[in-house]
Structure 1
Amino acid sequence: MPNDPAPLAHVVLIGGPSGCGKSRLAEQSGLPLLRLDDFYRSGDDPALPHLPTGEVDWDHPGSWHRDRALAALDELARTGRTEVPIYDIAANGPVGTRTLELGGATRFVAEGVFVAEVAADARERGILADAVCVHRSRWLTMLLRFVRDVREHRKPVPFLIRRGFLLARREPAILARLRDAGFRPVTARGIRGLLS
């Protein structure tokens, strides 16, 4: 945007299917982290998309506030701080807000299931440093996601099993969408090196 202040920092976007290790890689980097999944809609939002079974399709971009996530990404890059929701999966919605600050960092990380939805805008606004997606076996991702979701009591186990197989089937399309959005497939080790 022509009249916007120059960015103080640039973002590294990390994409990949749910459970592939995006959050862990972002946390391990030590860089300021914008969790885009905190911008999910509340469970009672009438705009939520649904699966044919009637359950909410949490893996559909319509289950997420893209505009709010993009505004926070841009504000953090240009001003060094932004307010973000604290989303609680068990509560099915935000339970508060927190202030995220750069603290003088010139790079920060943003990750989430729908990160591809903001890549083009981040590039156009001149705040994108890089866009990478985690490259690993979809079956390993499925296992890691299931273990994480059970450990964190995210949803009932039968739902997690059905969702796990659904996401495994969708994974090639998810990765193709990320590549189309300009994301480079990189191993977890390669991403660690990039962020160090």
Structure 2
Amino acid sequence: MNNSAEHHAGGLVLLGGASGAGKSYLARTYGRPHLLLDAFYREIAEDSTAEEPLPRTVYGQIDWDDPLTWNLNSAVDAIIELMETGRTRVPVYSITTSSVTGHEDLELAGGPIVAEGIFAAELPRALSQLGLRPGTDFHAWYIDQHRLPTAARRFARDVTERRKPVPFLLRRGWSLMRQEREIRGHYLAAGFVPVPKRELHRRLGTP
């Protein structure tokens, strides 16, 4: 990878990291547009209507950190449509109610498209299978930082936004903090490059 490809954030950027790492902040700041991959979560209604119920955690609740709760094909379709036509239509998803509450139009505004969400690691292989080249047609960068500030920001955000009941958030937060090394390894195995947040500000802010 040459220096231009490594440090220039043109086209499509997949931004990965643990929940609470600051993906949304970076994407909102630099994305033109910001594509929220969490918009492609499956709805809780599918738990009773789909052929297969949504996956469960060891304590019996729906495991919203399992990629099977997410619609990969719809996310890929939206990315390709946005890259090819300059616009796409995405769901408006409520984390609180685990349901789609509407749709919104997203338009290319000069780029880069910054797509982020906890399932971003599922995308490099899917995009590569469509002929897009990592490091050239898209970048995949992982926010590399210590797990403790990530956990604190995640809990404060989820409580403020009333995403789920506090006991659930505490169990989930503890589980995610223990799994963070594994999560990082999963992203890197998927083709993401670890980059400190300060460096990501520089790369994403480079025209």
Percent of residue pairs identical? 43
**Separation in 2 of the partners of 1:195 and 1:122?**
21
Would the aligned equivalents of 2:40 and 2:93 in 1 still touch at CA under 8 Å?
yes
Alignment match, 2:3: none
Alignment match, 2:63: 57
Residue 10 (str. 1) matches residue 11 (str. 2): yes
SS of the counterpart of 2:191? coil
1:72-87 residue pairs with structure 2 within 5 A?
72-87=78-93
* Stretches of structure 2 lacking an aligned partner (at least 5 in a row): 1-9, 48-52
What amino acid is the match of 2:41?
Y
Alignment match, 2:169: 160
TM-score (norm 1): 0.91
**Separation in 2 of the partners of 1:117 and 1:30?**
20
**Separation in 2 of the partners of 1:66 and 1:158?**
29
RMSD: 1.4
* Stretches of structure 1 lacking an aligned partner (at least 5 in a row): 1-8
How big is the shift at 1:98? 0.4
How big is the shift at 1:30? 4.5
Alignment match, 2:193: 184
Which of 56, 73, 96 pairs up with 1:67?
73
1:118-157 residue pairs with structure 2 within 5 A?
118-124=123-129, 125-126=131-132, 128-157=137-166
TM-score (norm 2): 0.86
**Separation in 1 of the partners of 2:82 and 2:164?**
31
Alignment match, 2:107: 101
Runs of 4+ in 1 over 4 A off after TM superposition: none
How big is the shift at 1:106? 4.2
